[in-house]
Amino acid sequence: MPQPKSPEPRKTSVDLSVRIGPMTLANPVLTASGTFGYGDEYAHVVDVAALGGVITKTVTLEPRIGNAPVRIAETPSGMLNSIGLENVGLARFISEKLPKLRSLGATVVASIGGETPHELERLLDALGSEKGIAGFEINFSCPNVSKGGARYWAVPRRLEKTLERLRPLTRTALIAKLSPDVTSVGDLAIACEQGGADAVTAVNTFVGMAIDLEPLRPKLNRTTGGLSGPAIKPLALARCHEAARAVGIPVIGSGGIMNGRDALEFLAVGASAVQVGTLSFIRPRGASEVLEEMAAFLSARGVKRLQDWRGGLLGDGEPAAQRREAGAGRGKH
C-alpha cells in the first residue's frame, strides 16, 4: 500500500543554511548516494525539496547491472551490501531521471563514478552544464567494484591530479567522497583540497564480511561488501573529525546517522553537512526526521545558527566557525 507523503518539516527559527563552495543548501541534511534511488522514487513519501539535497545513485558512462546476488546481508547493528554500482548509465540519467528531479524542485547533487580519470572527465563534460544539477559528488570510494574502486583511488597524488583535470569542467560544487579504509583519510582530504574540490565526504562504507556456517560460505556472493548502519558510526565519526582537522574546505559527514542527535555529533566534530543512508532503507522518511530532530534540539537550546554549533569539538584551539567560513568556496573555480 502506498505510504502517505510526509508533511513538510516544521519551520524552525534556527538558521540551518550551509554553503558548499558555490552551492547553498537550505539545511545540512542530504541523502547518501546509493540509498535513496535517484530521488524521484521516494517523492511520494518524502518532500525531497525540503531536504538539504538529494545525492543520486552513482552514474557511470554505460549502464551497469551490478554484482550477482546475494548482494545484501544483515549484520548486528548494520548491513553489508555489494551492489556494485548498478545504474541506468549516463544517457538514460540525462533523458529520464534529471527531468523528473527538476520537476520536484530538489537540490540535486549527481554522484558520478569512473574507472579512470578520463571516464570521470567524460561524465563531467556531459553533465557539467545540465540544468538542475547543483553539484557533483565524485565516488572515489566504492568498495564493491573490481576496477576504479576504493583501492584504486586511495592514492593522494592520483586524487589531486584527477581533481585538477575535473575542476575546469564545471562551475558547480565538486565534492570528493572518500574511503575510510585507508591509513589517513586526512591525507586524502588534503589532496582533494589541493586538487580543487569544494568539499569532501567522510566517509563511504567500510569493507566487511559475514559468514554462513552451514553451509560454510560468505553471505555475499562477492565475499566482501560495504558495511553501513549504526555499527560504523563511531568509526565514521573519528574519520570525519580527522578530515575536518586536516582541511579548510567543508567536510560532509556520513556513516551510521540514525537520528538528529547522531547528525549533531558529526556537526560538532567539524562537519558542515551530513548524509543519511541506511536509515532510509528502514524508514523512507528518515532524512526528514533527522532534520526535524536536529532543528528541535538546537531550538530548545537557544541556538540561532547552525554555524554556532558546528565544530564545537573540532579541538584544535582555532575557532571552528572561522575555519569553516574560510574554507567555504575555497575550491579553484
**Dihedral, CA of residue 71, residue 76, residue 77 and residue 79, to nearest 10:** 0
Rounded to whole angstroms, the Cα distance separating 190 from 180 reads: 15
Rounded to whole angstroms, the Cα distance separating 277 from 317 reads: 32
Q: Which member of 98, 134, 142, 249 is catalytic? A: 142
Q: In what order do the strands lie in the sheet with 78-81?
A: 72-75, 78-81, 224-228, 206-209
Residue 240 is among the residues annotated as catalytic for this protein = no
Rounded to whole angstroms, the Cα distance separating 281 from 309 reads: 29
Could you tell me which of 179, 186, 96 has the C-alpha nearest to residue 145?
A: 179
φ/ψ of residue 158, rounded to 5: -65, -40
Cell of 279: 536509515
Q: Which residues are catalytically annotated?
A: 142
